[in-house]
Amino acid sequence: MKKKSFHFEDYTESKINEKNSSNNFIEISSSRVIFLSTIFLFLLFVCSIKVIYLSLSPKKEFNIKSSKVEFVKNRRDIVDRNGSVVATNVNLYDVGIRPQLLGDQEKKQLLIKLALLIPDLNLIKIKKKLKKNEFFWLGKRLTPQEKDEIWLIGNKSFEFQSKPSRIYPQSYLFSHILGQTDDTNNGISGIEKFLNTNLINKNKIETPINLTLDSNLQHLIRDELVKAQEDFYNIGSAAVLMNVKNGEILSLISLPDYDLNKRVSIQSEKYINKITLGVYELGSVFKTFTIAAALENELINPNTIFKNLEKTLNCGDYTISEHDKLPQNLSAEQILVRSSNIGAVRIAQKLGVEKYRSFLNSLDLLDTINFDLLEVGTPLNFNWGKCKLATTSYGHGITTTPLQIAKAYATLVNGGYEVTPTILANKLKNPKKRERVISKKTSNAINIMLRKVVSLNEGTANFANIEGYEVAGKTGTAVKYNSKNKLNTFVSIFPSSNPQYLLLVMLDEPKPAPNYVYKFPSSLKFPNGYNYKGENRNTSGWNTVVVAGKIIEKIGPILATKNLQASTNF
């Protein structure tokens, strides 16, 4: 067997050629070395001078351009009436991943590290995206701390993008008022959209937008609405607290609400602003307007007796009946106190369509209200007639928004002056001259009646008779269209002898609460009050009134209304 061997050739001809050109090559190489050395020495000299200069320079001048990075706000802050920030700007971070920069083993290691850092991360989804080898966003709107935690993983595939973003320190508390901004920081709902041009005004960027709302009151009222859901199993609720003198809104809540910082798309109708956008039949709260219209037109007085009130009335396809057994003869005042449907119809028939419609128009109940949000509802149009007059007299067959009800009641109880609801403090700096809509006489009469709805045993709102606050108000129970479920409302005013505030509470589809312990206030018959359990009714007097009473008890001390102008006349 022959062994393989390697043969090396001597390229003697190449060596000869190299020898002939060796002198020229040496000369060229020497020139290049000298040239490169000169450049190197020059750069070294420049760097040395720069280092010496920086070391001797004052600290304030060091790297001034790179260290002075100013965050330029592109939206104004929004603050509540006490100056607490409810919307502001910060630098947040989006973090993306470029999988094409990683090998298979590196991708596996990255998944392990991400799983340890973010336990809730959907690793299956991330793994699929890594396999596609296309850029994707791992997370958006990360805080500096969250960004740093990811950055410390030290993976070369991460890409961080900083951008000014809007945050809301109270998260859900003002969600239906503040609204949201999009990814370009432009307002898309709420105040953020309504005042978008004003909020990005560069000349006012350091001046916040001031709201009339109070974060403390907002929190207390929301807390009671949340508790109410545990007691009455309602699917939603809402409340508005307003100054009846000037229309400033101190609190406006609609539940369910949502965390503004999560920037989720809100599609479900249950998340609408029930106070400003929701359009509802609100039931017996309209009886107050019916009686006020008749008083204003001098067709009745509080003591006018309506005799032989029918148990039921038929009007076209409608059968009108009472919610409870009532006396056949009632005064106008008793019709309101005991919430008589038939009595309200009889009063409306005295008025007629034109006078009643004109009165409702004067209170802005039939058209779209002007307000500081774009999310505002429009009452549904309908054709007036004898039957429609009858049903609207007690709040059925007629729709409006809770905000419009609040505005109308404020006008009725404040001496008859029109108010314009607002959540913007600047509007109150230059108030318009007040316009009287109804007479002082009518206003006083309505206040006395509404107080008796709460204070008298036969009234429908006894649970709101909180000692020291002179609460007045009117209940409203409406059956939702094509449903047996109820929408219950209570409008309260306090103190009734000198009205300052209005609180409207609404519960959507509350259920009977037989296990709830109702605490009746003191009376002549029961000086210390008494507890009651086992009630199966779910009308307004058995839920919204209870909730309103608890709210007034909590916010009353903040508003300093206890025993204010207390009177023994009611």
Q: Where are the domains of the chain?
A: 78-210, 219-559
Q: SS3 letters for 298-345?
A: CCCCCCCEECCCCCEEEECCEEEECCCCCCCCEEHHHHHHCCCHHHHH
Q: Residue 183: its pLDDT value, please? A: 78
Going by the DSSP 8-state scheme, the letter that residue 3 receives in this structure is P
Distance, CA of 104 to CA of 118 (rounded, Å): 21
Beta bridge partners of residue 89, listed in sequence order? 166
Q: Which among 457, 558, 446 has a CA at the least distance from the CA of 496?
A: 446
Distances (CA, A) of 240 to 43, 44, 213, 506: 72, 73, 10, 9
203 three-state secondary structure:
helix
Distance CA 110, CA 102 (A): 9
Report the b/e string of 408-443 with b at 16+ CB within 10 A. bbbbbbbbbbbbbbbbbbebeeeeeeeeebbeeebb
> Smallest Cα–Cα separation from 301: which of 346, 334, 333?
333
Quote the CA–CA distance of 422 and 195 in Å, as a whole number.
13
> Is 426 in contact with 443 (CB distance < 8 Å)?
no
What does the pLDDT look like over 11-29, one tens digit per residue?
344 443 444 444 554 455 5
Contacts of 542 (CB under 8 A, 6+ apart): 512, 513, 518, 535
Are 536 and 514 a contacting pair, CB within 8 Å? yes
**492 forms bridges with which residues in the sheet?**
473, 503
CA distance 472 to 466: 10
Residue ranges in the chain whose pLDDT is less than 50: 1-22, 25-26, 58-72, 565-570
User: With respect to CATH, is domain 219-559 assigned 3.40.710.10?
Assistant: yes
Instruction: Give the pair of three-digit tokens for residue 220.
Output: 């207390």
Query: Tokens in use for 222?
Result: 């929301």
Are both 78-210 and 219-559 of the same fold?
A: no
- Dihedral class, residue 63 (left if φ above 0, else alpha if ψ from -120 to 50, else beta): left
Residues 6+ apart with CB under 8 A from 102: 110, 130, 155, 156, 157
Coil vs helix vs strand at 122? coil
Q: What is the pLDDT of residues 470-527, one digit of tens each?
A: 999 999 999 998 888 999 999 999 999 999 999 999 999 999 999 999 988 776 667 7
Establish how many alpha carbons lie within 13 A of residue 432's alpha carbon, considering only the half-sphere containing its beta carbon.
10
- Give the model's pLDDT for residue 526: 73
Give the side-chain half-sphere CA count within 13 A for 385: 6
User: What letters, b where the CB count within 10 A reaches 16 and e where it falls short, cover 180-213?
Assistant: bbeeebebebbbbbbbbeebbeeeebeebbbbbb
Predicted local confidence at residue 14, as pLDDT: 42
Q: Provide the 8-state DSSP code for 248.
A: B
Single out the residue of 409, 417, 450 nearest to residue 434, CA to CA. 417
Structure confidence at residue 65 (pLDDT): 36
Residue type, 522: S
Which H helix or E strand runs over 558? helix 544-559
| Backbone φ and ψ of 165, nearest 5° | -135, 160
Within a 10 A sphere around the Cβ of 121, how many other Cβ atoms? Answer: 15
What's 262's DSSP letter?
G
Query: Which fold does the domain 78-210 belong to in CATH?
Result: Penicillin-binding protein 2a (Domain 2) (3.90.1310)
Q: Which of 326, 333, 276, 275 is nearest to 303 (CA)?
A: 333
Contact 134, 79 (CB under 8 A): no
Q: What is the pLDDT of residue 288?
A: 98
Chain centroid, CA 43 distance in Å: 62
Give the pLDDT confidence score for residue 30 in this predicted structure. Answer: 65
Residue 393 C-alpha from the chain's centroid: 32
pLDDT score at 17? 45
Return the pLDDT at 201: 94
Beta bridge partners of 165: 90
Whose CA is closest to 340, among 408, 508, 348?
Answer: 348
* Consecutive H or E run containing 552: helix 544-559
Q: How far apart are CA 512 and CA 415, in angstroms?
A: 37
What are 567's strand-pairing partners?
none
Token duo for residue 402:
């809770």
DSSP string, 400-437: B-HHHHHHHHHHHHTTSB----BSBGGGGTSPPPP-B-
Give the pairing type, strands 209-210 and 78-79: parallel
Q: 395: closest CA among 300, 291, 466, 307?
A: 291
Cα separation, 277 vs 240, whole angstroms: 13
Q: Given CA atoms 202, 205, 207, 211 in this order, what sign does their dihedral have?
A: positive
Three-class SS state of 434? coil
The pLDDT score that the predictor gives to residue 428 is: 81
